[in-house]
Structures are given as C-alpha cells and as structure tokens.
Amino acid sequence: MKFYLAPLEGITGYIYRNALEKYFPGADRYFTPFIMPNQHKMLRTKELRDVLPENNRVPDLIPQILTNQAEHFLETARQLEEMGYQEVNLNLGCPSGTVVSKKRGSGLLAYPEELDRFLDEIFSKSPVRISVKTRIGRDNTADAFLLMEIYRKYPLSELIIHPRTQKEFYRGVPDQGLFGELARAYRCDDTAPAIDCSETSQNAEHSNFNAVQRTICYNGNLLTNKDYLDFTAKFPDIPAVMLGRGVIANPGLLRQIRTGIPTDRPTLRAFHDEILENYREAFGSDNNALFRMKELWIYMIHLFTDSDRYKKKIHKAQNLADYRCIVDALFREQTLLTEGPAQWVLPQK
C-alpha cells in the first residue's frame, strides 16, 4: 500500500510537510496545495516558495494545478519541469464555491465535453506525467461512469477518486460502494458496468507516454487506523490511499498505520514547536505565525480531552506569549487521545 498526504490550503505547505516527514514519517507522496495559474503565466511568490526543491525535504512531492485553461496548465507544467518535477496533479476535486462557479475543480465535472477537450489538449502536449484527483460529480453522480470513460481515454499516471459530489463538500459518508464500481469501470474489470473499454489512450496524440497502468487511489474519510483497516478489508486490491484531514488532526496517523506506534506527547510537541518557529522565520511576523497555528489547531485540538474549551482559548489568543501559555497548559493538563476521539468533529468545508 502507498500512502499519500492530501493537500489542504493554508496548512500543508512546505513547512508543515517537512515537519511531518521529520517527526511522523509514513507518507510515500506529498501533494502541494493547488497552484492556480493566471494570465500572467508565472507562479505567485507563495506558490513558487512552496514548490522550490530546496525548500522541500520529503521523499516525493507532486505539485497540484487548478485550472480549466489548457494553455495555463501547460505553461505551469513546463515551469515545474524546469525545476525537476516529472509529474503534476490536476485538481478536479476542489468543492469551493468560488472555484466551482468558474468551472474549475469539481465544477468542471458538470461539463463532460469541455472536460474531454481540456484533457485531450493537456495530455497531447504536457512535458510531464499527469495524475488526476476527482470527485464523482458536481450536483449528483449521474455522470460518474461517463467521467470514468473520459479518463480512460488518456494516459493518467494515476486516478485519485474522492467518492463525494461537489455539493456534499465533506459532509456525510463517502460512497465507497460506488467507488468500487467506478474503480472497476475505470480499469475495465470483468465485473465493471458496460463502458467503452477501447484503449484509446494509446493513440498518436498521446504517444509521448508509455503503457497505461490504470492505477487507482482512494481518498475520503480515512480518519483513524480502524477506518484504514476497514477500507482495506473491503478493497484489498486498491494500491494507494490518500489521507488528508485525518492526518492533519492526528499527525501520527500514518506512522501508526505503518508501524503500530501511536502518536506520543513528546513527538507531537516537538512537531508543533518546529512548525511554529519555522512559520515565525518564514513570515517574519509573530501575528502571521499565530494565525497559521490557529488554523492547524482547528483540526489537531481533537486529539486532546476538553478540546472545545482549549479550542476557544487558542482562538482567542491575541499574541504569541498568550498562545504559548495556553498550549503549555494543554499539553500539561489534558490527556492525549492516541487513537483519536470517539468521533471526529472536523471542518465540513
């Protein structure tokens, strides 16, 4: 099994990724928060800083691109290739309303013909491999199998499926039953629903790529070790899983899945302290560092008892000195829930 860290805007930048790899290793691949190309065709300062190879100390980093303009995608891919990257990820999963309204992210899923044309152009001209992270529809799942048929036409290095629609955001339970059907359809297993299984991805336009592997990765609500074990019992043939909010909430989750070693207080504290100090250095501002740490605690606070009270205290901290006192008390006074709480209460959007 391969384990991937999903991108989360505002949290999983290079400072977070480096600290996670140092203190809680376990991810085989890390994905950057999305790069959104614009008409200037240059990476923004924040985006450039996040993907610079010298800033990243993780085993395999995949930049993610969010756009519906083939020209913008290809120019960004070219710049990333110049930095040494051999693969990028296309974001067709972001459910944000401002993204979807512009036919980006999961918004493009509602327009299969436009999606098909877009994929045809980028796969015909891309200098690097392309994986795709997708949801199973925008408003509903009516076109889910059509989407698989479209994806089959192109030599994706990997298809990462999050089995929710855009409308669901992160609410409810991902449809793992439908995920299984879509995975079979994409790979054209014998039990798959009838779709066009012709090997159109081997055509001349895409001849710069080798044989297609039809590799599938699952993403969605793997928040605990038990969630992972339950998933693999259902889908023993799925070779990769992507975890996001579960790892942000419990940084030791991947290490626990791989080794059985649960999250421990000293390592978690060292992880926290390194992120804080690196934020202070990178931003040159205690206030900016404090804002970033507050975002992280929205997730990580649930690893401790009395989480609601301390979440409010951290949110109200006005300066770094107050914040540090609160975090000291949290680590000193509260119990660390090494398996996570009975039920995660994580952000739904």
CA gap 128, 87 in Å, rounded: 5
CA gap 240, 228 in Å, rounded: 11
What is 112-151 written as a DSSP string? HHHHHHHHHHHHHH-SSEEEEEE-S-SS-STTHHHHHHHH
Residue 332, φ and ψ in degrees, nearest 5: -80, -40
CA gap 349, 331 in Å, rounded: 28
Question: Which pair of structure tokens corresponds to residue 324?
Answer: 């540090």
Q: Is 65 helix (H, G, I), strand (E, B) or coil?
A: strand
Per-residue confidence of the chain (349 residues) as pLDDT tens digits?
Answer: 999 999 999 999 999 999 999 999 999 999 999 999 987 767 999 999 999 999 999 999 999 999 999 999 999 999 999 999 999 999 999 999 999 999 999 999 999 999 999 999 999 999 999 999 999 999 999 999 999 999 999 999 999 999 999 999 999 899 999 999 999 999 987 655 556 666 554 444 554 444 456 899 999 999 999 999 999 999 999 999 999 999 999 999 999 999 999 999 999 999 999 999 999 999 999 999 999 999 999 999 999 999 999 999 999 999 999 999 999 999 999 999 987 776 777 776 5
Question: Which pair of structure tokens corresponds to residue 12?
Answer: 């999983």
Task: Tell which residue, 221, 217, 219, has the closest CA to residue 172.
Answer: 221
Beta-carbon contacts of 324 under 8 Å, excluding residues fewer than 6 positions away, are none
Beta-carbon contacts of 193 under 8 Å, excluding residues fewer than 6 positions away, are 145, 181, 184, 185
Q: Is 100 helix (H, G, I), strand (E, B) or coil?
A: helix
pTM: 0.93
Q: Are 38 and 30 in contact (CB under 8 A)?
A: no
